[in-house]
Copies of this chain bind each other. A is one copy, B any other.
């Protein structure tokens, strides 16, 4: 009963196979190889636009490097107060940008709204050069609370941002789950809605270590390659990231893996919602279920070997009672049923 994180699941067999296949023969280093060029080009097909694509190994690198070309070091990035860039990257965005300021903004269930962002801006008015000038709005799709922005919601946010002279960054560590959940196209959930730069994640969804930073306006990418290199994120054997994405995009593997994980979460959420005393905290829209259990239940489950963690939020209205369960491409319906049954048993005892 392993719901600790989608990161625990290892890599999909197709990904491992692709890595092994890519190991055939010599290839120029640092991304100068044919495979890398070919796979980069596949993103232009997937997103239906000529875009600039850069591969890195981690989501923290993708976000930090993307932001570093979107804001000057004295600029400000508005983000959700529960966002990964704010809470889980150990001040990584501040590091990559050379000291830009993150302004955390509140919003229901992990989602920002134009109204929420407007209020934050109103409280941090332009007074050059005193306040750090706002330059970027960072959104997470799907959000850290397991919710998803619709294409319309994204468009409203991006329109607002652009009107306020902000660029839009999207942390897409679970972009695949959002795409699978909504059925919307990759383009609809990104540049067509107004996103300027997307960090398209692979690692949480079955890749070994593969993230793509996608610039829909290629001019914005002009110094990315220098920044990636000096941050130690340019792989010498780049073909091994490219190979992962090659397999990931083949036959919509990325959507299949995410779709399965999402379905398992839906099953889990329904099962838990039916139990007395269990409260689902946020709508279950991707592969994450947030729930509050009756006293003592979490401990009993952990004693039985179930893996999952408490989820604490700014202000923490749940007083530590909320937990997050994450499903993955490897989660089975049986595993979900067993977990629901264990919760039911624990709640009863």
Residue positions of A touching B, CB distance < 8 A: 2, 4-5, 7-11, 13, 16, 19-20, 22-30, 56-65, 72-76, 87-92, 94-104, 119-120, 122-125, 127-133, 203-204, 208-209, 223, 225-237, 239-240, 307, 312-316, 330
Q: Contacts of A24 on B, CB cut-off 8 Å?
A: 10
Do A234 and B101 touch across chains, with their CB atoms under 8 A apart? Answer: no
Copies in the complex: 4
Task: Check A232–B92 contact: CB distance below 8 A.
Answer: yes
28 pairs across A/B with beta carbons < 8 Å? Answer: A2-B26, A5-B29, A7-B30, A8-B26, A8-B28, A10-B22, A16-B23, A30-B130, A57-B209, A61-B232, A65-B232, A72-B226, A73-B73, A74-B227, A88-B131, A89-B230, A91-B99, A91-B101, A91-B230, A92-B230, A92-B231, A94-B99, A98-B99, A128-B225, A129-B225, A204-B236, A208-B240, A209-B209
Alpha-carbon distance between A240 and B57 when the two chains are bound, in angstroms = 12
Chain B min CB distance to A107 (Å): 14
- Closest Cβ of chain B to A165, distance in Å, is 14
Q: What's the minimum C-beta distance from A27 to chain B, rounded to whole angstroms?
A: 6
In Å, the complex CA distance between A29 and B96 comes to 23
Q: Which residues of B contact A91 (CB under 8 A)?
A: 73-76, 99-101, 132, 230
B90 touches A100 (CB 8 A): no
Distance of A204 Cα from B90 Cα, bound (Å): 30
Q: Are B60 and A229 in contact (CB under 8 A)?
A: yes
Closest to A25 in B: B10
Q: Report chain B residues within 8 Å CB of A209.
A: 57, 209, 235-237, 240
Contact of A316 among B29, B123, B228 (CB under 8 A): B123
Q: Check A230–B28 contact: CB distance below 8 A.
A: no
Point out the residues of chain B lying under 8 angstroms from A307, CB to CB.
Answer: 26, 28
Across the interface, do B229 and A89 meet the contact criterion of CB distance under 8 Å?
yes
B73 and A229: CB pair below 8 A? no
Q: Are A90 and B130 in contact (CB under 8 A)?
A: yes
Flag if B95 contacts A231 (CB, 8 Å).
Answer: yes
Which single residue of chain B is at the shortest CB-CB distance from A131? B87
What are the residues of chain B within 8 A of A204 when measuring CB–CB?
A: 236
Interface centre among A13, A24, A102, A132 (most CB of B within 10 A): A132
Contact B60 A232 (CB under 8 A): yes
A98 and B123 within 8 A (CB) = no
Q: In the complex, are the beta carbons of B132 and A58 less than 8 A apart?
A: no
Residue of B22, B75, B203 touching A237 (CB-CB under 8 A): B203
Nearest B residue (CB) for A82: B123
Q: Which 3 A-B pairs have the closest CB atoms?
A: A61-B232, A60-B232, A123-B314
Question: What's the least CB distance linking A56 to chain B, in Å?
Answer: 7
